[in-house]
Chains A and B, each alone.
Chain A
Amino acid sequence: MLTQTSILRVVSKLLIPPIMLFALYVQFHGDFGPGGGFQAGVIFASAFILYALIFGVDNARKATPAWLTRLMLASGLLLYAGVGVVAMLLGGDYLDYSMLSSDPHAGQHLGITLIEFGVGTTVAGAMITIFLIFDGRLRAEKED
């Protein structure tokens, strides 16, 4: 795609790792400032999309094959729902994080971290999937 321009390549190589780090920061800092799993997932996905735009979607596809994005998509939701089930098995109501640990506060914290991570995973998976599908469609059309 835009592989010819070396400025773009260098700049984006420099940018992508910080963006991913920032995504992680947003993911785990949601307790204190604005942010959380959803925003983190979107930012993570946009780092991926940037990579795909600069280095070509083929390379990006190699990094995240279809089964991986599908797994991300499904596992995030399963993690979230699973946390609820675990809380239920531990004797609480569904999604009652206080049950996850002997100390309700720690339990709440653990629960929130886990489900936010689930949210992030599914959202990133969903965004990447949708992006790749739209792209795949574009190429299929070009080939015809």
Chain B
Amino acid sequence: MIATQLPILQVILPLIMAPIALIVRSPRTVWMLTLLVTWITFCISLTLLMQVLEGGTIVYRIGGWAAPWGIEYVLDKVGAFVLVIVSAIGSIVMTYARRSVEAEIQEDRIYLFYTMFLLCLTGLLGIVITGDVFNLFVFLEISSLSSYVMISLGKDRRALTAAYRYLIMGTLGATFYIIGVGMMYMMTGTLNMADLAVLIPSIADSRTIQTAMAFLTVGVCLKLALFPLHLWLPNAYTYAPSVVTAFLAATATKVAVYVLIRIVFTLFGDVNILEGLGVQNILMALAIVAMFAASIMAIYQDNMKRLFAYSSVAQIGYIILGLSFASQVGVAAGIVHLFNHAIIKCAIFMGLGCIALRVGGVSIKNMYGLGYRMPWTMAAIVIGGLGLIGIPMTVGFVSKWYLVRAAFEQDMWIIAALIVLSSLLAIVYVWRLVEAAYLKSAPQDAAPISEAPLSMLLSLWILALASIYFGVDATTTMNIALDSADTLLNGGLQ
């Protein structure tokens, strides 16, 4: 019986734990409860992925009402894959979190922090698994509101303004999304994704539907920080507590990309919106601009968190570029990069969190000589950095390889060249870190520091090793990605 209830349990467990955390309050207990829940959700999502791979799409009716009258949960391969990414990152970040949170957040706010974390997880998982466009909005707001709060808990006062700006941009994005949903609803009378996908093609020429598409895309792009709409991201990532940065960088934008995938390939899949309206070209152009502009910005940053925040904007460019090819290989490359980038960025930000804990800052000057003083932490960060560049044997290589292949498939030589060229920029900014950590010596008067605590190092290295493992043997991830791309391109949810 439990097996059939898994899709809802996945989302409900963290949701129920959040109010319990609010009542319990003791930081230690709350952390243990949160840890437990995150690992359970991770196990559930793995089981679900197995089920989907074996038996195809899972549909779960909430309240026993059949769609489109009620809300249903729909889980196909992409969904299950993203679900695994989110819950895996959630559980690893939680394992890592205790010491870092104790150091960075006021003691009497810690239980609230974990409450927010659980809610954010609920929201993100809910977005991924839902099959209803309005329900998606509700869970989007749950995850957004809680992430605004988590960001504003950062120590620096600029965390507050960063959170405020994120709030304004995020709410605008959500409102745009809601306008788009309203227009679609107006023309079709339904909110269910599968139902919409059936009804839209017959009225795809209507100007209302085209406008709806535009508003949905802009709204979601605000959330996923596609290049000109990314302005909220660097500050938010820089001043948020380390744990929050690691979690959000690996999940929040990824889930927004997933929503974009749903809109473009599921809702408007049969209409082939990408080629039809020039959306493809716009997305592709923006993606490439993002890859370059953000990488160049990254090179000039002195704060390491900020540097990698800009690099995130660039990496989102790669993902969107993959999707905009609208070919099986391209979309698969996008999806697999979603996974790879989540691992890499989470590892890097967790590493920076270790450094913040021991050294007290993450500016480039704090890095001097750290390669010898915190060898394990630094090595893990460098492995992540190599992944960002796309060195063979790391995950980054796999995604870039498929991206380049997708470009060749469509005879877009220039784009293939641009992908390689932008990787050179990544070498530059990663090199700045490596140079500081290994080639410069620590200042004479530096206080002696020890390596990061074991619980943090452990989770950090799990991710670092994962980034190598999935780089050497990419068959599992790549097969899932190719499969999902295939289903996405050929008819959405069924």
Chain A interfacial positions (CB closer than 8 Å to B): 70-71, 73-75, 77-78, 81-82, 84-85, 88, 91-99
Contacts and interface: CB of A to CB of B under 8 A. Distances in A.
A71 B24 CA distance: 10
B62 interface: yes
Interface of B: 1, 5, 8, 12, 15-16, 18-20, 22-23, 60-64
B22 A95 contact: no
- Among A84, A91, A93, which residue has the most Cβ atoms of chain B within 10 A? A93
Contact of B12 (A74, A81, A96): A81
- Among B8, B15, B19, B60, which residue has the most Cβ atoms of chain A within 10 A? B19
B63 A94 contact: yes
Contact of A78 (B19, B60, B61, B63): B19
A93 B62 contact: yes
A99 B22 CA distance: 30
A95 B19 contact: no
A98 B15 CA distance: 23
Given A94-B62, A97-B63, A74 B23 contact: yes
Nearest to A122: B19
Given A84-B12, A94-B5, A94-B8, A74 B60 contact: no
A92 B12 contact: no
25 contacts: A70-B22, A70-B23, A71-B23, A73-B19, A74-B20, A74-B23, A77-B18, A78-B19, A78-B20, A81-B15, A81-B16, A84-B8, A84-B12, A85-B12, A85-B16, A91-B1, A92-B64, A93-B5, A93-B60, A94-B5, A94-B8, A94-B12, A94-B63, A96-B63, A96-B64
A70 B1 CA distance: 35
B5 A88 contact: yes
Given A81-B16, A85-B12, A88-B8, A93 B63 contact: yes
Contacts of B64: 92-93, 95-96, 98-99
Nearest to A76: B19
Nearest to A84: B12
Contact of A74 (B1, B19, B62): B19
Where chain A touches its partner, the secondary structure class is helix
A77 B115 CA distance: 13
Given A92-B64, A96-B63, A77 B12 contact: no
A110 B15 CA distance: 23
Contacts of A92: 64
A84 B22 CA distance: 20
A35 B22 CA distance: 29
A70 B19 CA distance: 9
A78 to B, nearest CB: 5
Contacts of A96: 63-64
A94 B8 CA distance: 7
B211 to A, nearest CB: 31
Nearest to B18: A77
A48 B12 CA distance: 32
Nearest to B21: A74
- 7 smallest beta-carbon distances between A and B, as pairs: A74-B19, A96-B64, A95-B63, A94-B8, A93-B64, A77-B19, A74-B22
A123 to B, nearest CB: 14
A82 to B, nearest CB: 8
Contacts of A73: 19, 22
Given A70-B23, A74-B22, A95 B5 contact: no
Contacts of B8: 84, 88, 93-94
Contacts of B60: 93-94
Nearest to A75: B19
Contacts of B1: 91
A16 B362 CA distance: 56
A77 B20 CA distance: 10
A123 B143 CA distance: 19
B100 to A, nearest CB: 26
Contacts of B16: 78, 81-82, 85
A77 to B, nearest CB: 5
Contacts of A88: 5, 8
Given A77-B15, A95-B62, 4 more contacts: A77-B19, A93-B8, A94-B62, A95-B64
A85 B23 CA distance: 20
A88 B23 CA distance: 24
Contacts of B19: 73-75, 77-78
